[in-house]
Amino acid sequence: MKSTRSTLLSGIAGGLALMGAAGATAQTADKPIVLQWQTANLTEKQFEPVWKEMVAAFEAANPGIKIEPVLVARKDHWTKFVTASQARRAPCLVSVDLTTAAYNGYLMALDSYWNAEPEAWRKAWSDEVMKAARWQGKLYGVPIWGGIYAEIYNKDLVTAAGLDPAKPPVSWADYMTWAKALTKDGQWATAILGGKTDTTTRVLLTWIYSNGGEVFNADMTEATFAKNPKSLEAIKAYLGMAKDGFAAPAPTTTNYLEQTVMFAQNKIATMRNANWAIAKAEEDNPALKGKLIVAPAPHQIPNAPTLKTMTSTSIAADCPNPEAAWKFIKFEADAKWSIKRAKVANWMPIRSDLANEPEIKSDPMLLTFLKIGENAKPYPLPLPIWADIAAGDIVDAVQKALLAPDTVETVFKDLDAKINRKLKDQ
């Protein structure tokens, strides 16, 4: 009896093992490589048609590779990536704060793949752009798209205030004159960003750069928000607009979303923002279509730089299929998709060889942004602690200064000291 049962069990086990082995063989033979792809903007409506079309085209061209988008809200993007990285399960393809991620060992160096590509292809990116994609001399991502910061005006409100929309402000003095004219009951010239995200820092930097200021010394070892007189002067001028009543109330709760909503609802007449804000404002208020003016941020020095955010696609350190991932990066960086991203989603092309493409040249708004972006400083800044200070310490300083306007200098001196301590401690 016992022998019969043992024989029967052995038979079943053997059969199952054989079936399993056969299944596994068949699965391995047919199973495509699946690459997870996580960027902060996959959930944004304006980008959806472009990335869906691009993924379908890539999969059709590469039948052995399947792209699995990881949809995550912008707010939770970094948290999810870090958690997955700590578990060694990060998506193969990611767009994250490159320096911080590379410093923490979450990304793979891409030099061998990059160097194996033809020189003509590599030359499509300027040296300055590629410098921002490197950490300690190694390449950790390929810059795909960006955002160029400029001043965006509501033409109707400008005209209604008796100002000439063809001659937007060039200097701070011009801007303050406009601000006075554009502020009236229930309407303000602009919004100061002071909410708890790094957009607060981005706009602050554009003001500092427009005055020739810097926030770090040349070798990035010392913060100079207050130490550099040009920087401090710019901070005072920008935040001073809240005290003067030119900026919408409650700046400490104003982020990108609140700013664009106020702009779409004609509550503010101008906003310091990147090209993607136009798509958002026009979607919220279609009546704004064709009624926006884009101009360089008012500045105090000739040829003042603005700020250009850079989004690169990287490969996670533990990616088991880096060759397949590199294929996708090359596909994503192709001129065709760069132009589509710019035309449909307002993500600005980073490749410097696209300015003469007919589709770009035929779009005056795009061309204006590209022209403004010719002299721009890359963002985020190449510091491993940048994400922390940009969304934390600098925002806290802006909030403190907004709540107690007489303490601006002290607050930013304290900020310099705090950042310097962190720089030494990293």
Q: Where on the chain is the footprint of other proteins (CB under 8 A)?
A: 78-79, 82, 85-86, 88, 100, 103-106, 194, 196, 248-253, 258, 261-262, 265, 267, 317, 385, 387-388, 391-392, 395-396, 399-400, 403
Cβ proximity to other proteins, 16 vs 403, nearer residue: 403
Q: Which two tokens stand for residue 230?
A: 């040009």
Burial label, 324 (beta-carbon count in 10 A; 0-12, 13-18, 19+): buried
What is the DSSP code string of 4-25? HHHHHHHHHHHHHHHHHHHHHH
What is the DSSP code string of 242-272? HHTT-B-S-GGG--HHHHHHHHHTTSBSEEE
Cβ proximity to other proteins, 79 vs 171, nearer residue: 79
Cis peptide before 380 (omega within 30 of 0): yes
Cβ proximity to other proteins, 202 vs 400, nearer residue: 400
Say which residue the tokens 């009236």 belong to.
Answer: 184
Q: Taking a C-beta distance cutoff of 8 angstroms, is the pair 107, 315 a contact?
A: yes
Say which residue the tokens 């919004």 belong to.
Answer: 191
Least separation, in Å, of the C-beta of 106 and other proteins? 6
Least separation, in Å, of the C-beta of 271 and other proteins? 14
Cβ proximity to other proteins, 85 vs 224, nearer residue: 85
The dihedrals phi and psi of 52, each to the nearest 5 degrees, come to -65, -40
Least separation, in Å, of the C-beta of 256 and other proteins? 14
Cβ proximity to other proteins, 38 vs 85, nearer residue: 85
Say which residue the tokens 């700046």 belong to.
Answer: 251
End-to-end CA, the chain: 71
User: Within 10 A of 220 (CB to CB), how many other CB atoms are there?
Assistant: 13
Cβ proximity to other proteins, 155 vs 267, nearer residue: 267
Least separation, in Å, of the C-beta of 389 and other proteins? 9
239: Cβ contacts below 8 Å, ≥ 6 apart: 192, 398, 401, 402, 405, 408
CA 154 from chain centre, in angstroms, equals 24
Say which residue the tokens 């990059």 belong to.
Answer: 114
Least separation, in Å, of the C-beta of 392 and other proteins? 6
Strand residue runs (E) in 107-266: 134-135, 138-139, 142-148, 150-154
Q: Taking a C-beta distance cutoff of 8 angstroms, is the pair 397, 232 a contact?
A: no
Least separation, in Å, of the C-beta of 88 and other proteins? 8
Q: Which two tokens stand for residue 75?
A: 């707010």
Least separation, in Å, of the C-beta of 402 and other proteins? 9
Cβ proximity to other proteins, 35 vs 385, nearer residue: 385
Q: Taking a C-beta distance cutoff of 8 angstroms, is the pair 376, 305 a contact?
A: yes
Q: Give the total residue count for the chain.
A: 426
Cα-based distances in Å from 417 to 237, 380, 383, 411, 423: 22, 21, 16, 10, 10
Instruction: Report, in this order, helix, strand and coil percent for the chain, each rounded to 5.
Output: 50, 15, 35
Cβ proximity to other proteins, 366 vs 397, nearer residue: 397
Cβ proximity to other proteins, 2 vs 88, nearer residue: 88
Cβ proximity to other proteins, 95 vs 100, nearer residue: 100
